[in-house]
Amino acid sequence: MIYKEFLEALEELELDLDSAAEALDLEISDIEAWEEEEEIPQSAEKWIKKEKVEFAELHNSNEDDDFVDEDEDNLDDDDEDLDFNGEEDKDEK
């Protein structure tokens, strides 16, 4: 992986050089120096691939973020039908 691909992967993952430097325990200047090399270090490539997998797992859900469980919303309404205090029994007697 070349430096440009590394930067593109960071952008795709919504990360910056500071985050990469912290995760790889490097200085930002060390990462920027990779631009002059043919490929980035194997450890950085391995890290970015791992981050891509984790990012995909976090964002690959069939659940809708705005999903509202109608059963959960109706729990309070259902409680009105139940007689926990036995008030209906008193009225019937």
Contact 3, 34 (CB under 8 A): yes
- For the full predicted model, state whether its pTM sits above 0.85: no
Looking at the structure of the chain, the number of domains it has is: 1
As a whole number, the mean pLDDT across the chain is 80
Whether residue 32 lies inside any domain: the answer is yes
Instruction: Print the domain residue range for 21.
Output: 3-59
Whether residue 53 lies inside any domain: the answer is yes
Euclidean distance between CA atoms 35 and 84, whole angstroms: 71
Q: 1-22: per-residue pLDDT in tens?
A: 999 999 999 999 999 999 999 9
pLDDT-derived band at 60, boundaries 50, 70, 90: confident
Of 49-53, 65-69, 71-75, 80-84, the range with the highest mean pLDDT is 49-53
